[in-house]
A and B are shown apart, each in its own frame.
Chain A
């Protein structure tokens, strides 16, 4: 793998809920290399978005906080640095695209205003005219047609796909080393989804930025990502290259997720679904979080948390946290 831009080490993020602090990101570690796309996959509530918000340090206030661990951006730890310093990193070093384009743009400011604001942070004191011209350039980079006119438009005058392009323009405005895309295509319809993914890939080819792509859509991961981590209940249960993990899923949860993807080649009477529900947020649990839903569960799974072990694919980076990788039952 290329030299890592971002290294997350043993990250633990807590939410102080009325019933007590709950870990929503629990001992998560991963690296992202220059020009690499890492997929983070999991169900709703698995801690994907919380991981992203932890990196950005925009956790819900006042209940969210990073409890322990390190987030190294080119070797510099972002955990515990001042609000002022992290603000200089947001937008400039790390850009982010949120899930729903309909709510992520401010309804009372026009497109030009919202894009120039992102440009201005990097270049304070630049005349407004120059910034506007650069905003037009940035919008053109994300394939916004008629950008000269569109900078005067307000969000409610744009389509969902167009709004998400504007959010993309804001993300790339500061020429970040890494872009975190949190389910950016979930709210778009399928044809627009494809265009948007294509766009992300073009931006990456052009600028060499790293991308963390958060999704529950395994099809996108297969198409777009180099490596992936699978999250379940705040923990990473499996990680590896796309080829290794898709070729030989070693955690039962990953296996089940892959089975749930319908295929056009196979005729199905009904879709495969994983039994049960993802666990509720709780303070303490013994053993593997997936044990109650796991078809290969062993006695030890309910008592002790599984250790990380090498996946059967033999890939150097392929790991899974499971007691029963050999599937003895």
Chain B
């Protein structure tokens, strides 16, 4: 098990290195930052001196290595849009808001979707199953911005249960979190249902019943543990996308998270902030997928010893 974890960790480091290179290269493909930093009537001398100051005249690989060296200690340079702060500071400031909202959205998704998917499969064809099917259909077909506004209109404006928007405690987070979880619940419910249907049909589930195991244990111990591989795989995608923030929900509910920050930084050609945001997103995806790999190994001995 330890060897498994170490192998996965080292693979993760390799991925991270590749990602830093892509992040570094991408931001250089969008044009030189000089154009946005200096006024249109800047003299060639001014351009040359800033280019030299930023190190943009040095060879590509040297620039990359410098970037890597600095990134390792969390230094992505100063933000060009938010004057007076380093890029890392700008991102770290937004991080708690995003993690709170994303964490709640992940929790809501899992708590709602897993039991719903499992029960749909167990009571296949029942009214419950059909209703869950409708929920899943709505979840995958309603556009997020529309859903956000409708949630706000019903629960904040008409019913007045929650504040309409802004940053604050749990009451502020519930509507945007539900909005973010909505699509994920639909996908996760469907995946769980189909995985469970397949497993419930196996001989080992039949043998568990033959042994006299009670139905709840047949479903949750024998069947779900085997079916869990599929929703866990999706959990990697889900956690990655929710924890990195949602541009649409953050805009609708004026939530000061990293989703909004990314858009602002890209529009302002703020390379240091874009790089640190993207790298932060990438690290989250990597961590989520690492967690998924470890979970696989915990639930399935064939992966652990394979």
Query: Interface on A for B, CB 8 Å cutoff?
Result: 56, 58, 62, 83, 87-92, 95-96, 98-100, 103-108, 110, 117-118, 121, 154, 156-157, 167, 170, 174
Contact = CB atoms under 8 A, between A and B. Distances in A.
Nearest to A102: B203
Given A154-B302, A157-B305, A90 B204 contact: no
Given A62-B124, A100-B203, A107-B204, A156 B302 contact: yes
Contacts of A58: 206, 209-210
A262 B215 CA distance: 45
B128 to A, nearest CB: 13
Please report whether the interface of chain B is mostly helix, strand, loop or mixed according to DSSP.
Answer: helix
5 contacts: A58-B210, A98-B206, A107-B226, A107-B300, A154-B305
10 smallest A-B Cβ distances: which pairs?
A91-B212, A90-B212, A103-B203, A106-B204, A154-B301, A104-B203, A91-B211, A121-B212, A96-B210, A118-B211
Interface of B: 124-125, 202-204, 206-215, 222, 225-226, 299-302, 305
Contacts of B204: 103-107
A83 B305 CA distance: 38
A98 B301 CA distance: 23
A56 B209 CA distance: 9
A107 B212 contact: no
Contacts of B215: 83
A62 B212 contact: no
Contacts of A106: 204, 207-208, 222, 226
Nearest to A170: B211
Contacts of A104: 203-204, 206-207
A99 B207 CA distance: 11
| B209, B222, B305: most-surrounded residue (chain A CB, <10 A) | B209
B203 A90 contact: no
Contacts of B301: 107-108, 110, 154, 156
A163 to B, nearest CB: 11
A174 B210 CA distance: 11
Contacts of B211: 90-91, 117-118, 121, 170
A110 B300 CA distance: 11
Nearest to A156: B302
A154 to B, nearest CB: 4
Contacts of A88: 212
A87 B214 contact: yes
Given A87-B214, A121-B212, A156-B305, 7 more contacts: A62-B125, A88-B212, A95-B210, A103-B203, A104-B203, A108-B226, A118-B212
Nearest to B212: A91
Contacts of A167: 207
Contacts of A98: 203, 206-207, 210
* Most B Cβ at <10 Å: residue of A104, A110, A121, A167: A104
Nearest to A153: B301
Nearest to B204: A106
Contacts of B213: 91, 117, 121
Given A98-B203, A103-B204, A90 B225 contact: no
Nearest to B229: A108
Given A103-B204, A157-B305, A108 B210 contact: no
A174 B226 contact: no
